[in-house]
Chains A and B, each alone.
Chain A
Amino acid sequence: MSNFLLELLVEEIPSRLQAESIQELEKLFVNEFDRLKIPYRNVNSFISPRRMVFSSDLELKSTAYQEEKKGPQINAPIEVIEKFLLAHHISRNDCVEKTIDKKTFLFAKIDHNAQETSHLLVDIIKKAITNIPWKKSMRWGSYSMYFVRPIRNILAIFNEKTINFCLDEIGVKSSNYTVGHRFLSPEKIYIKNLGDYKYKIKKSFVIIDREERRNIIENEIKSIEKTYNLQIDTPLDLMEEVVGLSEYPIVLMGKIPDNFMKLPEEVIITPMKVHQRYFPVRNNEGKLAPYFVFVTNNKAYDNGKVIIEGNERVLNARLSDALFFFETDLKKPLEHHLESLKKIEFYESLGSLYERTQRMIDFCIFAYNELKKSNSWIKPEMKDLLVRTATLAKCDLSTNIVSEFTELQGIMGACYAQIQKESPLVCNAIKEQYKQGEEFSTAFSALFSLIDKIEIITSLFAIGKEPTGSKDPFALRRAAISIIKIIKKYNIKIDLITFIKQALSKLPINNYSKETEQRIINFIKERLKVLLKNENIDPDIINSLLQNYDNILLIYQKAEFLNSVLQTEIGQRLIICYKRAKNIIGHNKDIMINQLLISEKEEISLYNEINKLDSIIKNIELSTDDIKIKFEKELNALLSIEKFISIFFEKILVNTENLEIKQNRLNLLTKIVHLFHKVLPIN
């Protein structure tokens, strides 16, 4: 086999698009090799900010093969058949007939001769280059072709010879050379094959392999950690990005002046990571240290002294801005920002953030009044705390720091709230309001986030912004999942429908459709279904529970308990009893039992048990408000009757000749089914 090598020299490819696009390029080549029957091995592909490289070993010729191509039916009009023959340059005799589903078709037998790989490659390359699916692409010069950024050179070699072609769409002729690092080795390098390329490109200060660049960065970071006894935060996404921003990575460390270290940690870290792509540094206790680590693309002859100074100056400027903003923000209390929220839109017809804040304050009071009825952990002081949180929650959106770094929303609010000595509960709830999932620092935070999320989902559904297909721009699915998880984890007894109705009634719009409430409930239930499925709960149980109830907590608790009970032996037997009873009674609805018609021993004891069960269930109903305890008691009572039903089925014939007795027995079984239905939502 002979080596094929292609390098596209491209103006800087956005880092976030690199990994995926090179895989696509590789796939495009491999698919074409397969399609054209060119034997290949040693497939390699690499990507750097300026280069997309593909290489593999190929046979000099493709393999000859015969292709069968389906044509028209044999009785098709003659013109159609002739067109088919003409298209494949064959005569009628070259075709065979095959019958599929009683219809007979012509099949052309097309011989593909072995072809020179070097000839095939031109089209393969052009096709691969033009077919990479970019998320965002552009045109340049006077050309019509779209690519992620302009392609400036195409190195194309097979069997140590240039594959000569011109990609007219961008006016670039193929060549047998490339260039090295933009600054360290900009001269032309002539290439023979992959081995030659790898050797020479490295000598020209280009690390072509993404993973190798990552290793270099990680190793240099480790050695800095060791030398200075520090720890460097390397979040995965930042590392991914940095690996794609440099062809010859060199890691350097700069210092942060001490006066900035009094800023909240997030305020220091955010401009470092988001704007500058710097790694934060910590001391061994995990406290932020006055350093930053960054990756450059140049091996400067002063060992980076000037580069470090420059980067320090940039970060200083950003941090002095931040410090200025921070101090300005502190000049007025957080609630003074409420006024500015009038100018910030919440969403479309939903009014300003100020209006939404007012709605949330009302909604929190409503929620408090509702929830305290059935949730004993909700204490009277929580009312004021909820209102305070709702009042302050969005105020940070108009502070200087958050205007500058939007990702600090919530975090800054909490920070400012803490400085003005708000209750720690309020501070944490402000901080965690946008949090998904169920892990909150306090139940109060979870509660506030729950109320906030119900309001958001309701508002956006009301203006028709519910998620469709893969589109969920407001992450409402995650919010719904979080609602369910919070309800479950904190055992919150809540009637969602009332909450949704209340939230809807306060919106500044009234043209939402009538089914909005139900659509929201169904949307949340859909998420619940997925969550329950993930917990391996029987699909039948899930469906029947979802059909019968709107209460998330109840559904969750019943599902889990039921699932555990029904997996036991007695549980299984109970289900069998139920199914038998259900089968026998058919459409019978009568549950009036005539005591005088009961004579058999097994019948009598079952009858007694049923009466006992009936009153037990009634008592349970009154005994406690805790649905979970109630359900467990009911189910246990039901389980206790199982052996009497089993014996009844064993000994007693329901279908006796005496129609009166038969009906009475049917009624007895119907009564059992009814009791089942009271406890278990099964059909």
Chain B
Amino acid sequence: MKGFQDLIFSLQQYWGGYGCAVLQPYDMEVGAGTFSPNTFLKALGKNSWKAAYVQPSRRPADGRYGENPNRVQKHHQFQVVIKPSPKDIQDIYIKSLETVGIDNKLHDIRFIEDDWESPTLGAAGLGWEVWCDGMEITQFTYFQQVGGIQCNPITVELTYGLERLAMFLQSVDNVYDLNWNGKEGKEKISYGDICKQQEIEFSKYSFEYANVDKLKQHFSDAENECKNLALSGLVLPAYDQCIKASHLFNLMDSRGALSIAERVERIARVRALAKACCEAQIKNYE
């Protein structure tokens, strides 16, 4: 696996071959692949679903001005969702690791208990972090609840942390040294070439420059829009506004603009939006 992009290609190839619809990233700022409607809303209802996609994921508070070798405010997840969860999903997953070059006769792959919960999404699941030689490379979750609603059937979600996995495969200790395009010498394009500037500038933005009053205003706007749209049964547009509110909340948080009480209160407000969207979605299914 020479380049970061090759890792993505082979995962897309593999899961596409398995029968997943290989989607493009959702075109909004999300905190994780789970936020994409292609996971979150699809986990509701009876319909089967198989999809795989890369999701650039933003966590403003993780910004380190491009100085930390392991932490970035925007990282890439490779997300696989399958509903209902197939009975041989662990084996299928392990084969995907072989495809990207992890020889399981040479490495130590383990499933370590890790239950997942998202207070902003009102979602919870049980599963593991998958370790390869002590490094967490995937979050493996059976969704139990989404937007406060019990899932049935159950969706399984596999989230590969692409930076970590690539660092592991390329034996690189600094994320910015990752080879992106797989070429060597002059033709090589590194992760740093592509992402370092955004790490520096967005760290400044989310810790120093973001206009808090504007963020709060946008938050309220998104909130109102979401509620109205959900009432009109326009689930996807409503949910976009929920995603927006969640990201605005993250920015306010990283900006250090929230008192304790306000933080708790805003999380509850985003959760209420997520719930409204889920309920509207269920109504649509009926």
Q: What residues make up the interface of A, taking CB atoms closer than 8 Å to B?
A: 11-12, 14-16, 49, 136-142, 144, 149-150, 152, 171, 182-184, 245-246, 276, 294, 296-298, 300-302, 306-307, 309-311, 313-317, 320-321, 324, 343-345, 352
Seed contacts A12-B112, A313-B171; 10 additional CB < 8 Å A-B pairs? A141-B84, A141-B87, A142-B84, A149-B126, A294-B134, A300-B105, A306-B107, A307-B107, A310-B107, A314-B134
Tell me the nearest residue of chain B to A49, going by C-beta.
Answer: B111
A12→B144 CA distance, assembly (Å): 17
CB-nearest residue of chain A to B261: A345
Instruction: Indicate the member of A245, A246, A313 with the most B CB atoms within 10 Å.
Output: A313
A-side contacts of B153, CB under 8 Å: 141-142
CB of B70 within 8 A of chain A?
yes
Q: Is the CB of A297 within 8 A of B110?
A: yes
Closest partner residue, chain A, to B86 (CB atom): A141
A678 to chain B, nearest CB (A): 54
Q: Which of B128, B134, B156 contacts A311 (CB 8 A)?
A: B134
Q: Which 6 pairs from chain A and chain B are nearest by CB?
A: A310-B133, A14-B113, A12-B111, A345-B260, A311-B134, A142-B153
Is A138 touching B104 in the complex (CB atoms < 8 A)?
Answer: no
Closest to A149 in B: B126
Asked if A152 and B87 make an inter-chain contact with CB atoms under 8 angstroms apart, the answer reads yes
A136 and B108 contacting across the interface, CB-CB below 8 Å: no
19 sampled A-B residue pairs with Cβ under 8 A: A11-B111, A49-B111, A137-B126, A138-B154, A139-B142, A140-B84, A140-B154, A141-B86, A141-B154, A142-B154, A144-B152, A150-B85, A182-B109, A246-B110, A300-B107, A300-B108, A302-B106, A310-B135, A317-B173
Contact of A343 (CB < 8 Å), options: B112, B171, B259? B259
Measured CB to CB, the nearest residue on chain B to A301 is B105
| Consensus secondary structure, chain A interface | loop
Q: Is the CB of B128 within 8 A of A12?
A: yes
Number of interface residues of B (CB under 8 A): 44
In the complex, A86→B179 CA distance in Å? 78
CB distance from A146 to the nearest CB of B (A): 10
Q: Once bound together, how far apart are the Cα atoms of A276 and B152, in whole Å? A: 34
- Contact, CB under 8 Å: A298 / B260: no
B142 x A298 contact (CB < 8 A): no
Contact B87 A276 (CB under 8 A): no
Once the chains are docked, how many angstroms separate the CA of A184 from the CA of B171? Answer: 25
B113 touches A141 (CB 8 A): no
CB proximity of B133 to chain A, nearest CB, Å? 3
* Min CB gap B7→A, angstroms: 17
CA gap between A136 and B133 in the complex, in Å: 27
Do the beta carbons of B110 and A245 come within 8 Å of each other?
yes
**B49 interface hit (Cβ, 8 Å):** no
In chain B, positions 110-140 with a C-beta closer than 8 Å to chain A are 110-113, 115, 125-126, 128, 132-135
Is the CB of B68 closer than 8 A to any CB of chain A? Answer: yes
Return B79 CB to nearest CB of chain A, in Å: 19
Question: CB of B256 within 8 A of chain A?
Answer: yes
Interchain CA distance A296-B107 in the complex, whole Å? 9
- Given contacts A141-B86, A298-B104, A320-B69, are A12 and B260 in contact (CB under 8 A)? no
List B contacts of A15 (CB < 8 A): 113
For B88, give the chain A residue with the smallest CB separation: A152
Give Cα distance in the complex from A292 to B119, angstroms: 36
Task: Determine if A310 and B115 form an interchain contact, defined as CB atoms under 8 angstroms apart.
Answer: no
Pair B260/A138 contact, Cβ less than 8 Å: no
B87/A12 in contact, CB under 8 A = no
Shortest distance from the beta carbon of A17 to any chain B beta carbon, whole Å: 8
B90: CB under 8 A from chain A?
A: yes
Asked if B154 and A307 make an inter-chain contact with CB atoms under 8 angstroms apart, the answer reads: no
